Every structure is written in C-alpha cells, then in structure tokens.
Structure 1
C-alpha cells in the first residue's frame, strides 16, 4: 500500500481512537461532577480523603456556597441523604452520650421482628428496672397493648416503659442490648457502645453524630420507622378498654411547641435529653425532592430550645448549600435486607429513591459509567476499523494498477 493510500486509513483510525478516548474519559464526567450530580461546572479538584476523622468544623469552601452557621453544639453533621454526601460536620466521631436518640438504634434492631398488629400483655417483670426520672408513655401492668401502640410510646413519648415492654418481647433487656450492638456494627457505627436500650445515662454508653446519622438514615428506609418518626400525635390505650388519651411527639421541631416553630418539610426523626447528655436531636427534612439529615449533640449556649434552633439553622444552610457544596465525607448506604455491605444493590437504591426521588435518574456509580462509556468507545473503534477495511479493499485494485504495494 502506497503512503498516499495509507495516510487516509491512518487518519481515520487516529480520529476513531481519539474519539473513543474522549468518550471514555469525558463520558463519566458528564454524568457526574466531582461534587455530585447537582454541580458539573466550576468544581474544585475532587478530594478523596475523608475529613470526618479530623477535629473541628469540616467544610470545603467553594464560590457561591455560604459557610455553615456557627452553632454551639459539641458535635453536628449535615448529610444529603439522596447522595449520602456529608456537606459539613463538626467532630463527627466524637463519642458522646446519646440520650433517647439511641432509641433509633433500638427501633432498627427490634421493629422488624413483630407485626404492628400483634398484641402483648405487659407484665410487672416487663417493667422492672426502669430508671427513676425516665420518660414514660404510661403503660400499665396486666394490660394488653398492640405493638403499634408500644411503638407510639417509644417514638412520640420517648417512653422507657414502652422500650422495656418491647425488649421483653424480644427476649429480654440483655439480649436487646446485644442485638442493638450487633446492628450498630453491621451499619458501620464504630463509635457506639450500648449499655442501656432506652438511651438512659449509663456508664460507658456513647455514640456520635456520625453513628446517629447512620441510624437515622437506615431507619428512614424502613416504612414503619419513617411513619412513626413523622407521627405528630396518636391515641394511646387506657384501662384495657375503648378509652384512649392523646399523646404528642416530644420533637418540638416536628410539632411546634414550647416556643419552637415547626420546620417546613420535617419528617422526623428523634430527640433526646438527659442531664449528662444534654439535648440531642436527629432531624430529617424534605424539600423540592431533596432530603437532608442533621444530627446535633449537646448545644452549649444554654438556650432552652438550642438543639432545635441549631438544627433549623443547619437544615436551612444545607438546603441552600447542597446543590454546589463539596463533600467532606460520605455515609455508607444502608445494606439491603439487613445484610452487611455498602448497600448499592436494587433494594438499597429503591429505598434511597423513596427518600430522594431525583436519585432515580442518577447514574448508579462511576464504575457503571465507565463500563457504558468504554463499551461505546469500543464500538466506535470497531466501526472505524470496519470502515477503514472496506475502504482499503475498494482501493486495493487501483493501488496495484498504479504499481503500489506494502510500504518497504
């Protein structure tokens, strides 16, 4: 083949290879920016390290993204549940007493085990060991309760008596603590040590804003948990008859009470207080197809509603910052069917979609993007090669008549 004949083939092949290379390299970037699919332009270089292990406030400044508000909590974290990106945090892994926010872990461990319609008659033994000063739902001995009522007592009244009754159904206080610890470990919550199933101050019992966020995130993928966490009021049975009295959720940011205005879009999750832990709160809110989760632990300002107002400020900031904020870490997605893992399968994705509908239209991950775009690139190369071969076969007789041949 003469150089004159060979040059177009080389040009075609080079063009095809360049096109394929650009597709393979640029394709995934077009599907996902380094700071998430919300922002594809003007992003800083991707940060691969997880900053959540670092002390102090963690936030990556970007043009057009406001700094997070200054709050007095010892520890806090803001997470976009649709992408699992942590937008900002302060001392996310600091071990602190969790108070009743630990009831979220109790629910993760026990809630799936019993039908909401099942009935349990509470005995004196069930209620033994309740610590003085604990919040109570008002459960009475020798009275039958539906499991759904007991869970209302847990989520709305934060009742230790309801926790004790459900723990008795689960095989006892000690077994329930073991189940909670195993659930924490399965979720990757390495900062949590469970000593009391109801979250009451107990020596050695700690959790962290990071771990509590894991519990809130996992809980919201369970329909019963999500419904209970968002329930504002319920009727609680009285005297084993048709009579009932009203109970209201103690989460002031959800219901609006004690001088706190309810937060628009709030969907739960759980508040807590003890003298040792101070005020703690896991709060989730959904606006415009985006769901944010904020955990706040032990504000130091001294204001009576500080935990709620600081959570409000962090949620407001998160909704404003999320479209362009750079992540300082990532919460692992909940594993499907209660199995260990990263939770990237269809079941986990379905649960995430329920929290953040826009996630349904997003790529499953960069690995999948690379496969698709690499396949497309390979197809371009194959087509280019086929075209070059056909062109050469048609040109070959003419080249032979001209005396041409393989280049020497």
Structure 2
C-alpha cells in the first residue's frame, strides 16, 4: 500500500510539473509582449492627443530679439512652420508685390514650365500706369518659366496678369483661386483680389500667413531656383520684340549691394504707398532654414536690415535636430492605443515611407533626449497619406511629417479596396500571432494527453492493487479452512 501511495504521489507531482512548465512556456512570449505593449502604450498616452502650438520656441523661450522698424514681422522654421519671432504677426496688412509669391506657387502647381502663355492686351495694358513691368509686349508668347522669372525678379505685373489668365481665364477668377489656396494652407486672415498686389482695400494678408505661403512655395525646386536667381535674359523672338535683361530687385541677394546677406537664398520685394515696404526672404545656415516676412516697413533699406538682423539673431538661438534617424514606424504604430488590432495589422503591412531626415528646431542648449515621437493615424486615401509622425516635447508639438504609401501599388490598391493584404506580404505582427496561437493549441492538447495518460495509469494501478488484495484474501481464507 505504501508503495502504491508513493507511486501515485510521484505521478501527481510529475504531472503538476509538466503542466506548469508547459503553461509557462506557452505564456512567456505572450506575457512579455503584452507587458511591453502595455508599457509602450502608457508611455505614448501623454503624446497621442498632443495639440500643436505653432510657436513652441517663440519669443517666450527665445531671448534677446532685436528691435525692428517694421510694423509686422515673423520668423519661422521653413520646414515645420514653428514661429521663432513674431511682431503683430496676425495683424492684417497690405502685401503689395509679395502677393506674387502666391501667383508663382499656383503657377508651379498648375502648369508645366514649358507651357506657352500668350500675353493679351488686358494683361499688358490693363495694369496701373507707372507700376512695375518687364516691358513684355502684347502678343508675346513666353513659357511659364520665362514668365515666372519676369514675375519674381523684376515684379512684372503684366506677367502676373498673364499667368492668371492662363490658369483661370481672368484675374478675377484667379484671385478666387489664390484665396482658396491660402485657406488650404492654413491662412486665416488672407484675401486676394488680384495676382500682383496693386492696391485694393479688400486685398490683405498677415506676416504669419505670408510665411505659410512662402513655406509651401519653397517645396518646389522650380520656385527656389527662380527666387534665388540674380539675373535672367528674355531673348528677342518672333513674338517678343526686344531682348529683356531682368535683374532681381532684392538687394539682400546681390553681393555688390550694401544690404547683401550671405545666407539669404531667395527673396521677393514689394512696395506701394499704402502697403509701404514689404519683403519675404528665406535663408539657410548650417542645417537650419528660416523664413522671414516683413510688412509695412518704413524704407527699403529698413526692410533689408530688419530681415538680416532677425536672421542673425535666430540662427544664433536655434539648431536643427533629426529625431527620426533611428525611428521605428511599426513600433510607433503599435504604441498608438487608439488603433484597433485589425487596423494595426493592415497598416503595418503597407510599404509606408517618411522623411528620415526630417528636422525640427530647438534651442542650442536643448537636450535632444527629451524629444518624443508618436504616430498619428490621419488618412487621406486620395493622396496615400496614412498619417503623421509627430515630434513633441513637454506636450508641445515641434513638428510633424507625413507617412505615405503608394496608392498605385498592389498593396495600396488592396488596402484602398478594403481587402486583406496578401499572406506572402505579411510580416512579424501577424506571423507572431499565428505562431502564438499554434503554440497555445499544442500546449493545451499536450496537457490533456498527459492528464489522460496519468489517470489511466492511476486507475490501472488501483485495479491491480484491488486484484492483488483479493488474491491475498483468497489465499488467506484457504489456509484457514
């Protein structure tokens, strides 16, 4: 009896050990992943609903800004739009000829550089007498590229009108398009009534809004090339009666000028008696690229010195950092607790891309390790935008960059149609879940099998014990009789 009890006890302990070991093996990976995911989601909770301030490193955190003469001004990061300096930056002002930055933006967005524009009588002779022109004659046929050089370098009003007619049929309709595009860019206090900036009480903008417009225009290499060109020649042709030499009005770009600023890369000037002097400029030093907008300045010379002084101050205050060099998009997606698991599996299988060199501006003594990154799902299926990577610090957004996918690819089309992506395209997230499910199934089956075997063995031993007991009783009974 003692031997039987010992045997049963041994079997029971062995069974318990096997079950616990298998259970631990089956759950270790899952528990580890769950703990890691929970910790990651708790960490990201602080930034998942972050609202951008647009001025995280404005004058409240940057010190020593210079005094300027201009009545309105703004300095912003050309990449993110973060404001470093503002003076009456949201006050409505007349822009004068810096209006032409929006005209140029719409031209590069809606035309090919080789498209031909025919200069109508209305475009050439319908502008205010004495206003700036390039001297282009009625009937001239110029490319969009040539027209943009005339527009940006010598502020040719006939070029502005001709571009407007080419795109929208009339300057009036084009002005509506200008205002619409400005709103799309986030401009809240801008309205255009013409493509050139000649006086109109209902034609206005702000320093901040003009910064946003220039920021968008700078995304186009054609615009950058033209805005930074010092001189250009329109050659005489069958339709152009004279060769025209175009010299950039922006003295801040010209090395032989007293107002030259070496880091300025592109600019556009403006002036009317009502608007006074206006100037938009972008400059780059090291890896920092900035935009400066000057409105209602009292003299062209003041607009240049105000701009240069603001640039010098800002470049001494900030540096550019690239927090996405070692960034894992899939990890960031997983850490976003607002994305359900089914959606997560699908978006992680897309061949998404983003700018790994995306930079944000911080103070020069800033500790980069305090920056946080997070993925925000914000889809635009027309363009293939999946969402944004948001860089923040102390619950303030410093910048964001788009995450996109190719809507023409097999993956992209399947995703847009709501289909599951092909199994052969699936990677770690789904594969690990399948492996885990299989592992759990095998572990459970094995536990049941071991339990059944042990029960059978125990029952068999009990049965044998009973038989042995009866046999001994019969032998004992025979001996007594």
Same topology, TM > 0.5:
yes
Larger radius of gyration: 2
Q: Distance in 2 between matches of 1:184 and 1:25?
A: 39
Q: TM-score, normalised by structure 1?
A: 0.67
Q: TM-score, normalised by structure 2?
A: 0.58
CA 1:365–1:16 in structure 2 vs 1: closer, same or farther (change >3 Å)? closer
Structure 2 residue corresponding to 1:233, chosen from 231, 234, 238: 231
- Cross-structure match for 1:262: 261
Between the two proteins, the alignment pairs up a number of residues equal to 345
- Cross-structure match for 2:221: 223
1:164 aligns with 2:122: no
- Cross-structure match for 1:280: 278
Secondary structure class of the residue paired with 1:267: strand
Q: Distance in 2 between matches of 1:92 and 1:74?
A: 9
Contact 1:136 1:160 in 2 (8 A): yes
Contact 1:117 1:148 in 2 (8 A): yes
Q: Distance in 2 between matches of 1:155 and 1:303?
A: 20
Runs (5+) with no aligned partner, structure 2: 1-15, 322-351, 361-371, 378-386, 391-427, 443-449, 451-481
1:149 aligns with 2:162: no
Contact 1:80 1:291 in 2 (8 A): yes
- Cross-structure match for 2:310: 314
Secondary structure class of the residue paired with 1:150: helix
Q: Distance in 1 between matches of 2:320 and 2:108?
A: 37
Secondary structure class of the residue paired with 1:203: coil
Secondary structure class of the residue paired with 1:87: strand
CA 1:251–1:50 in structure 2 vs 1: closer, same or farther (change >3 Å)? same
Instruction: Report deviation, 1:26.
Output: 4.7
- Cross-structure match for 1:96: 93
- Cross-structure match for 2:193: 195
Q: Distance in 2 between matches of 1:174 and 1:91?
A: 29
Secondary structure class of the residue paired with 1:205: coil
CA 1:276–1:365 in structure 2 vs 1: closer, same or farther (change >3 Å)? farther
Instruction: Report deviation, 1:148.
Output: 2.0
Q: Distance in 1 between matches of 2:156 and 2:374?
A: 40
Q: Distance in 1 between matches of 2:75 and 2:137?
A: 39
Q: Distance in 1 between matches of 2:359 and 2:68?
A: 34
1:323 aligns with 2:322: no
Q: Distance in 1 between matches of 2:31 and 2:146?
A: 71
Runs (5+) with no aligned partner, structure 1: 35-45, 326-348, 371-375, 391-396, 398-408
- Cross-structure match for 1:140: 137
Q: Distance in 2 between matches of 1:292 and 1:132?
A: 36
Instruction: Report deviation, 1:365.
Output: 4.5
CA 1:18–1:111 in structure 2 vs 1: closer, same or farther (change >3 Å)? closer
Contact 1:80 1:322 in 2 (8 A): no
CA 1:78–1:365 in structure 2 vs 1: closer, same or farther (change >3 Å)? farther
Q: Distance in 1 between matches of 2:241 and 2:200?
A: 38
Contact 1:216 1:269 in 2 (8 A): no
Q: Distance in 2 between matches of 1:236 and 1:206?
A: 32
- Cross-structure match for 1:108: 105
Compare relative contact order (CA 8 Å, sep 6+) and give the higher one, 1 or 2.
1
1:180 aligns with 2:175: no
Deviations 1:293-351 (A, max 9, x none): 1111122xx454111111112222222223389xxxxxxxxxxxxxxxxxxxxxxx99x
Aligned pairs for 1:2-401 (under 5 A) are 21-26=38-43, 50=53, 59-61=59-61, 65-170=62-167, 171-238=169-236, 240=238, 244-256=243-255, 258-264=257-263, 266-299=264-297, 302=298, 304-323=300-319, 358-359=357-358, 365=375
Q: Distance in 2 between matches of 1:111 and 1:14?
A: 54
Q: Distance in 2 between matches of 1:256 and 1:273?
A: 22
Q: Distance in 2 between matches of 1:228 and 1:272?
A: 17
Instruction: Report deviation, 1:159.
Output: 0.8
Q: Distance in 2 between matches of 1:230 and 1:307?
A: 18
